[in-house]
């Protein structure tokens, strides 16, 4: 009797593998999928010694969000440079307060250059 159950189980497995059961759906990608780069930068603090301000941002096409973690005892300005289609350059700047972490959303995408300024105010 046991050999008959084993035979039925093997036959059922054969039916499952032969395509009698529904196939699993698959999807192809169009090749247009891209991963946006994440960039990071840091700068030393004046005080306390050995500490840094760290920033990161992505290559957003419409907006850019800059994440910061400022371990310094002083505020630091972060400046982003953008280039218009005409080639004209313009800057956006914000201040990361001392000893804070947070983020700032800028309404322009794909910055050309990002700098951590030594000053605590934007130029």
Percent share of the chain, pLDDT over 70: 71
Beta partners for 90?
82
Alpha helix locations (H) across the chain?
2-17
Structure tokens at 85: 């289609």
Opening angle at CA 91, ends 107 and 76, nearest 5: 95
Statement: the pTM of the whole predicted model exceeds 0.75: no
The string of pLDDT tens digits covering residues 43-80 is 999 999 999 999 999 988 999 999 999 999 999 999 99
Task: Please write down the long-range contacts of 17-24, taking CB distance under 8 Å and 24 or more positions apart.
Answer: none
CB atoms within 10 A of CB 24: 5
Break the chain into its structural domains and give their ranges.
38-116
> Which fold would CATH assign to domain 38-116?
Immunoglobulin-like (2.60.40)
């Amino acid at each position: 009797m046991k050999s008959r159950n084993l035979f039925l189980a093997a036959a059922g497995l054969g039916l499952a593998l032969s395509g009698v059961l529904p196939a699993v759906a698959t999807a192809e990608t169009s090749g247009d999928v891209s991963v946006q780069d994440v960039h990071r930068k840091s700068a030393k603090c004046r005080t306390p010694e050995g500490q840094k301000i760290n920033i990161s941002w992505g290559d957003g096409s419409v907006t850019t969000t800059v994440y910061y973690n400022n371990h310094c005892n002083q505020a630091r300005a972060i400046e982003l440079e953008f280039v218009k289609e005409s080639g004209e350059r313009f800057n956006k700047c914000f201040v990361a307060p001392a000893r804070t972490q947070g983020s700032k959303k800028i309404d322009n995408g794909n910055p050309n250059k990002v700098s951590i300024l030594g000053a605590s105010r934007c130029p």
